[in-house]
C-alpha cells in the first residue's frame, strides 16, 4: 500500500496544484466581478471592456483546467483589474476585506493610537477583602 501511495505521489501533487490554482482563480474572478459591478461607472468603458475580456478568459481557463493556463489567465485578470481597484480606492469604498481606506490609501482596521488607549490597573475588590 505504501508503494502504491509513493507511485501516485506525483499525480497527487499535480492534482493538488491544479485544485489550488482553481481555488485562487475562482476567488480572484469573484472579487473582480464584484468590484467591477460596484465600480463600473467610475472607470472608462475601454477599461471595463478589458476587464470583461480578462474575466471571460479566466472563466474559460477555469473550465478547461491546467495549472499554467489558469495561473496565466489569473495574472492577466489581476493586471486588467488594477484600474477597477484604483477607482474603488480613490472613491473611498471599503476594501475587499471590509476595512476602510485611510487618507493615505492605507487600510485602517481599528482605532487610531492618538489617545484612544487608556492604561489602567484592575483590582478585584472581593479578592482583596478575603485576605
The helix/strand/coil state of 44 is coil
Is 49 part of a structural domain of the chain? yes
Query: What is the model's pLDDT at position 121?
Result: 79
Is 67 part of a structural domain of the chain? yes
pTM of the model: 0.62
Which of 4-18, 53-67, 97-111, 115-129 is predicted with the least confidence, judged by mean pLDDT? 97-111
Is 104 part of a structural domain of the chain? no
Is 121 part of a structural domain of the chain? no
Domain with 59, as residue range(s), is 2-96
pLDDT, one tens digit per residue, over 77-91 is 999 998 888 887 887
Count: domains in the chain = 1
Query: What is the model's pLDDT at position 79?
Result: 93
Is 75 part of a structural domain of the chain? yes
Is 126 part of a structural domain of the chain? no
Instruction: Please give the Cα distance from 71 to 25 (Å, whole number).
Output: 8
Cell numbers standing for residue 45 = 468603458
Is 120 part of a structural domain of the chain? no
| φ/ψ (deg, to 5) at 121 | -100, 150
Contact (CB, 8 A) for 35 and 85: yes
Is 36 part of a structural domain of the chain? yes
Contact (CB, 8 A) for 70 and 23: no
pLDDT, one tens digit per residue, over 24-72 is 999 999 999 999 898 888 888 888 899 999 999 999 999 998 999 999 9
Residue pointed to by grid coordinates 477597477? 84
Say how many Å lie between the first and final Cα of the chain, rounded.
65
| 3 state SS for 95-122 | CCCCCEECCCCCEECCCCCCCCCCCCCC
Amino acid at each position: 500500500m505504501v508503494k502504491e501511495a509513493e507511485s501516485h505521489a506525483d499525480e497527487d501533487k499535480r492534482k493538488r496544484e491544479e485544485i489550488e490554482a482553481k481555488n485562487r482563480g475562482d476567488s480572484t474572478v469573484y472579487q473582480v466581478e464584484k468590484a467591477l459591478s460596484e465600480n463600473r461607472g467610475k472607470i472608462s468603458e475601454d477599461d471595463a471592456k478589458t476587464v470583461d475580456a480578462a474575466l471571460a478568459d479566466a472563466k474559460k481557463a477555469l473550465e478547461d483546467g491546467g495549472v499554467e493556463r489558469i495561473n496565466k489567465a489569473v495574472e492577466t485578470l489581476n493586471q486588467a483589474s488594477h484600474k477597477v481597484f484604483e477607482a474603488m480606492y480613490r472613491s473611498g469604498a471599503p476594501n475587499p476585506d471590509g476595512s476602510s481606506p485611510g487618507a493615505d490609501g492605507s487600510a485602517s482596521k481599528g482605532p487610531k493610537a492618538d489617545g484612544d488607549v487608556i492604561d489602567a490597573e484592575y483590582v478585584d475588590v472581593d479578592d482583596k477583602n478575603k485576605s
